[in-house]
Chains A and B, each alone.
Chain A
Amino acid sequence: GQNIDQPTEMTATEGAIVQINCTYQTSGFNGLFWYQQHAGEAPTFLSYNVLDGLEEKGRFSSFLSRSKGYSYLLLKELQMKDSASYLCAVMDSNYQLIWGAGTKLIIKP
């Protein structure tokens, strides 16, 4: 079956760095997405990786290793507004998105 695993919850301190991991097993691979979702709101796009390596976009970076079925989202210089759920999703061979359950990130002052 298809499976996306990510931690349920993480806590970090304002100004620090946090890495949210995601491992996957899917039928085919057409890219991995990271989305941010604040409570009560729709998800917003953060990143898309289809090739191995690190993609950097401001304070957020995303890494992918296809051979390991592994990705991480790195958030630097954490701000209180970064408190949200972070969803990992993989596009399978049918171009369908398989969603992880999300990681709730709690930022403390």
Chain B
Amino acid sequence: GAVVSQHPSWVICKSGTSVKIECRSLDFQATTMFWYRQFPKQSLMLMATSNEGSKATYEQGVEKDKFLINHASLTLSTLTVTSAHPEDSSFYICSARDREPGELFFGEGSRLTVL
């Protein structure tokens, strides 16, 4: 099946710094990518829908100025957590579809720990 790669897998940073997470579709073109956050023992929570060449659509309650999403090409979307704080520590997962509708392929996830 299609492959989605996410990098980095683990990141530890100091409070106040910014962290960028990349999500790449390796063998297909993803016009739409999704970013999720998952706290321990909880289900996935959709943060935003990222469309190539346009602004991301954020879910209610997600600060777009804090979680910057860029979808510059059909194979790459990035999530930047700006001025990270300990409460931003979470598991961030991206996903993409190769067609509508279709199976959603997930990246490996990125575990962010903010000290």
Contact = CB atoms under 8 A, between A and B. Distances in A.
Interface string A16-59: 00000000000000110100000011111100101000000000
B109 A30 contact: no
Nearest to B42: A101
Interface range on chain A (Cβ under 8 Å from partner): 20 to 34
Interface range on chain B (Cβ under 8 Å from partner): 20 to 34
Nearest to A87: B43
Contacts of A43: 44, 93, 106
Contacts of B61: none
Given A30-B101, A91-B101, A97-B104, A45 B44 contact: no
Interface of A: 30-31, 33, 40-45, 48, 50, 87, 91, 95-97, 99-102
